[in-house]
Amino acid sequence: MDSKSLVFLGLISGPRQYRIPAFQRAYSWEKEDRETLWLDVLTQYEVLTSVWERNDAEREEELNKRSTHYLGTIVLSGPSSLGVPKSDIIDGQQRITTLLLAVCALRDHWGNFIAREAGVSEAEAKRRTISNTFLVNDGQKGSERYRVLPLSTDEKVFRAIVDFPGSGKLTTDMLGLEPGDSDRMLRAYHFFRTEMARKKVPEGNIQLKRFAHVFPLDPEKLEQTLAHRLSVIAIETKNNDDTNAIFESLNGKGRPLTQLDLLRNYVFMTLGSKADQVLKDEWLPIEHTHLPDRKDMEAFIWAEVVSRGTNVLQKRTYRTVQSEIREAGATAAAAENYVKRLKRRAPAFGQIIDPSKSPEAPLKVVLDCLARVGGKTARPLVLWLFEEAFQDRCEMGDIVRCVKHIESFLARRFLCSLAPNNLNSMFGIMLSRLNNLTGALAAGAGTVEERLLTALLSVPKDFPDDAALMDGILAHDFYHNGDTRQRTHILRSFDLSFGYDLIPGYEESDRSIEHVLPQLKNPTQWIADLKALDEDFTATQDRWLHTLGNLTIVAPADNSALGAKRFPEKAAFYKSLGYKMTQAVPTFGTERAGELLWGAETIAARARDLATKATVIWARPAAAPLSLELAAEVLVDGEFDDDVDEPVPFTSSIDEESGELTETD
């Protein structure tokens, strides 16, 4: 392993080629990253400008006293021994690529300037000099011509920018980008072209304000800044184990490495000579077709592990898969089999996170309901169901019923205000049992539906029964429970249970949730109305205001119009609305002196009615279909005892503060 300190020109000088290996992510720098680098370049440009007019010796002496800008560590694997020396960039590709895009912008900006001042031939000479110094290996052909060889998703754009003749405009339409081709490099190039052509700093630009005196920029000074005032420490190794270890521990000044980055690195290094083919045939179709969002891909690799019975924190996904591949011999075949399994299972996960992709209408409906009720933590369990279907142990209709059972599990917990923080642990333990080859829930012990229901009922209080559901709806604050999507889904489900020929529209907004008893403090007319019911308004409001019995669904505009109107006025308005749940609210009113009033008893009566409906909408079996022996875990007062060894290595990957599934490490 060799390391050396280099300025950018020393790093990039040819003949040399830096390749982006298959396991690396595509070019990902956004505007904020580019702006940060540009400000660092301008800082060094300012330093160079301050001594530019001195003679060579004085300038050199003064610059040696001034620190260059340190870009961080660049980790390389190689170089190759034949042809143009080639090295794989293990860490630092974003910085190297961005600087080369800045050089391309400088070449084209400077070339156009010279063309106007001295003619086309002089401009072409300067363009060739810059290209041969930074961008291409002069005299080489094909891919060996380029100093950097990016991934296939970036290759078309990168080559077009490097080979751009300077006339015309570089646009996505001109390049003819196809699905899967990225335009981030083109955006970076245009950013630098724009900044280099800037004449002055506009008022209000706080970031550039301190550099106002250096604009317009001198192309020669800028070239010297890029070449000599930016430095790195380059580490080069030829050992794969060293390379992988360094990749895990370093990421310079780039974006933090995710579990997905680490996993890709390990898998594709293990693939060796098969990496490019597996990337093209197996991995890229997952990213381009099914899971283009990196967060979804990250969630998938975690859910795929958990669905197979390993209950693991998301931040330990990489280590878990690495251990699995090592146990299989750490061979290219083991890594390829893992990626092929991902490709096979990715379409199912794509449907889970985006139900609109499902080709089956009934499945689309239940997956959408599951997502709305807060089914993110249940994704591994649903992925397991798809695998059971793949193994011919169930059919699509079974999956539909099973997903509905999972929704019922989550909806009942929500209505009883049970904390979501331990759901990942619950589902993980269920999956460890469902994947057990010999246990009570093993394949063949019963139907898939029976096995799932037994798992959901393994700790009965975790799946609230009808009595607990009734108590929860009567007692708990619904309005502040969970998030807006969950609350509106529950109310929407109640409304749909009344039956429609034409389903109305529902807006996912808390402004769609109407408080019958108003939230306003001390409304005079309501105080008088509740007094007629022998109730104290403040006491009734404190007890019942945000409970489900006092809430219904309306259009947001109607919510604003209703405000704190008396119940008789609201009741008349409710009957005119298109939501049957809301139309039914007046039927619970208490009549006094010829008017309908709304108080504690009416709210409680409506809450009990809704609870009865909830037991049907989100049904729960009275008992588990199969007998489940809990010999593998020790239960203390119905809870898992943390002091006893678990059959699985880890527990929850929930953020304890928010109760949300952690998307990245």
Predicted confidence at residue 177, as pLDDT, reads: 79
- Find out whether 366 and 400 touch, Cβ atoms under 8 Å: yes
Same domain (yes/no): 441, 341: yes
Same domain (yes/no): 330, 223: no
Average pLDDT over residues 206-214: 90
Tracing tokens 């591949």 back to the chain, one arrives at 325
Distance CA 21, CA 413 (A): 47
Q: Which residues, other chains included, contact 230 with Cβ-Cβ below 8 Å and sequence gap of 6+?
A: 7, 8, 40, 41, 44, 68, 69, 71, 99
Of 249, 283, 318, which residue sits at a domain end?
A: 249
**Which of 283-292, 389-398, 407-416 bottoms out in mean pLDDT, i.e. has the lowest?**
283-292
The domain tally of the chain equals: 3
Distance CA 105, CA 188 (A): 9
Asked if residue 651 belongs to a domain, the reply is no
Backbone angles phi, psi at 92, to 5 degrees: 120, 5
Same domain (yes/no): 187, 312: no
Same domain (yes/no): 175, 281: no
Task: Encode pLDDT of 125-164 as tens digits.
Answer: 999 999 999 999 999 988 999 999 998 889 999 999 999 9
Tracing tokens 């680098």 back to the chain, one arrives at 37
Residue 261 or residue 651, greater confidence: 261
Asked if residue 452 belongs to a domain, the reply is yes
Same domain (yes/no): 243, 378: no
Asked if residue 496 belongs to a domain, the reply is yes
Of 249, 280, 296, which residue sits at a domain end?
A: 249
Same domain (yes/no): 110, 133: yes
Predicted confidence at residue 652, as pLDDT, reads: 31
Using the predicted structure, report yes or no on whether residue 95 has a pLDDT greater than 50. Answer: yes
Average pLDDT over residues 565-592: 95
Same domain (yes/no): 489, 396: no
Q: Which residues, other chains included, contact 530 with Cβ-Cβ below 8 Å and sequence gap of 6+?
A: 536, 537, 540, 597, 599
Average pLDDT over residues 336-353: 97
Same domain (yes/no): 331, 233: no
Predicted confidence at residue 249, as pLDDT, reads: 64
Burial class (CB in 10 A: 0-12, 13-18, 19+), 15: middle
Asked if residue 66 belongs to a domain, the reply is yes
Asked if residue 652 belongs to a domain, the reply is no
Using the predicted structure, report yes or no on whether residue 613 has a pLDDT greater than 80. Answer: yes
Q: Provide the CB-side half-sphere exposure for 325 (13 A, CA).
A: 25
Which domain range does residue 68 map to? Answer: 2-249
Asked if residue 650 belongs to a domain, the reply is no
Average pLDDT over residues 466-479: 97
Start-to-end CA distance of the chain, whole Å, equals: 29
Q: Which residues, other chains included, contact 444 with Cβ-Cβ below 8 Å and sequence gap of 6+?
A: none
Asked if residue 647 belongs to a domain, the reply is no
Distance CA 53, CA 431 (A): 72
Mind spelling out the 3-state secondary structure of 250-272? CCCCCCCCCHHHHHHHHHHHHHH
Distance CA 409, CA 454 (A): 12
Same domain (yes/no): 457, 375: yes
Same domain (yes/no): 74, 207: yes
Can you count the helices (H) and strands (E) in the chain? 30, 12
If pLDDT is split at 50, 70 and 90, which confidence band does 657 have? very low
Taking the alpha carbons of 489, 491, 493, 499 in that order, is the dihedral positive or negative? negative
Same domain (yes/no): 612, 584: yes
- Find out whether 582 and 514 touch, Cβ atoms under 8 Å: yes
Average pLDDT over residues 572-577: 95
- Find out whether 488 and 630 touch, Cβ atoms under 8 Å: no
Asked if residue 648 belongs to a domain, the reply is no
Same domain (yes/no): 48, 122: yes
Using the predicted structure, report yes or no on whether residue 638 has a pLDDT greater than 60. Answer: no
| Interhelix angle 524-532/537-544, nearest 10 degrees | 90
Using the predicted structure, report yes or no on whether residue 645 has a pLDDT greater than 50. Answer: no
Task: Encode pLDDT of 410-465 as tens digits.
Answer: 999 999 999 998 999 999 999 999 998 777 788 888 999 999 999 999 999 999 99
Predicted confidence at residue 25, as pLDDT, reads: 80
Residue 181 or residue 583, greater confidence: 583
